[in-house]
Amino acid sequence: MRKNNKSGFMDLLEQYFTVHLPVSRGISLNTIASYKCAFRILIQFMYNVKGIDADNITFGSLDYDMLTEFFIWMGKERECSPSTKNQRRAAISSFAAYAQNRDFDAASVFRNCVNKISFRKVKNTPRAVFTREEVSILLSLPDGNRNIGYRDLVLLSVMYASGTRAQEVCDLTVASVLCDQDKTWLIIKGKGEKIRRVGIPLACSVLLKQYIKHRKIGDSPKCHIFSSQTREHMTVSCVEEIFKKYIGIAKEKYPSFFLEDRYTPHSMRHATATHMLNAGVPLVVLKNFLGHESLQSTMIYAQISQSTVDKYVKEWNDKWFSKDSGREVLSEISDKVIDFLR
């Protein structure tokens, strides 16, 4: 049970998570969970390494040296990547700005110390994306004759057909599936509680409807479509384990495919976006399909493959720089050009 003699730091931290983020700013539950994780780790460091109980943490105790030591500890003891440390710093920085606006004298020094902690440089590595052949391989691996395999097959198919994020596919309920004759849409709740409607192809629609019927949940609109062996509402970590399982099998059975070091559930979303772009789907359509706020996000997220670039460059070259047109240009200037440029 928590003590009642909380420090001003803990008082403001509680208000930050219970009122400011969810009510005042309407931040998504996933973002709040990520921010909470950052402070759980900080409190763990303060107690285990510095011997300071949570209720005794003050803004003054979190000076520049303490924060610097905390981020070094995260890297050494928890083996956090620069990207993860940047996320934790961003969470602490957000709280520092909030706290300064409520208690300037106490929190201003704390915020200045946080701002002095520079973001770590993150290596810009290409996104791991499945090719069309690799998607086909993944969809062929689950054993549809077993309940777990059947679930995994439907989940992977829905993620590829709809471009959903891992959390979005976890949140799908029976009520999320809308049907009208031969058309089926998914109502997806994305980042920031934004809702979008995505149509899925017939083959995936049939598979999804059969799975809902198989689970006997068609009359339960609030029931989540995908569940784990222990939870009715599947978690992102469960989806990650599903991908880890089948990619491990695929790497062993098909050594010439799946050559990237690490694939995640997001690789499937990226594959969907890339394949749609390669098929000629306009960026503005893809933007709405993926639920992006800006077109710039879509352009960064869905990179056109090199083979597609080569294809269009070849078409351009063949059309505008053919041998015949080159001869015509050369004949027109042959009398005027310098010998070594002929």
Give 165-198 pLDDT, tens digit per residue.
999 999 999 999 998 878 899 999 887 778 899 9
| CA–CA distance, 194 with 297 (Å, rounded to integer) | 16
Q: What pLDDT sits at residue 260?
A: 86
pTM for this model (two decimals): 0.66
Bigger pLDDT: 244 or 30? 244
Q: How confident is the model at residue 223 (pLDDT cuts 50, 70, 90)?
A: very high
Q: Which domains does the chain have, with CATH numbers?
A: 8-116 (1.10.150), 132-301 (1.10.443.10)
Q: Which of 36-50, 81-95, 104-118, 311-325 has the lowest mean pLDDT?
A: 311-325
For 47-67, the pLDDT digits (tens) are 999 999 988 999 999 999 999
**Residue 226 and residue 234 in contact, taking contact as beta carbons nearer than 8 Å:** yes
What is the rounded CA–CA span in Å between residue 204 and residue 338?
Answer: 64
Spatial distance between the Cα atoms of 23 and 200, rounded to a whole number of angstroms: 34
Q: What is the pLDDT of residues 124-174, one digit of tens each?
A: 566 788 999 999 999 999 998 999 999 999 999 999 999 999 999 999 999
**Residue 312 or 184, more confident:** 184
Higher pLDDT: 83 or 146? It is: 146
CB atoms inside a 10 Å sphere around CB 38: 21
More confident residue, 262 or 240: 240
pLDDT tens per residue, range 226-242? 999 899 999 999 999 99
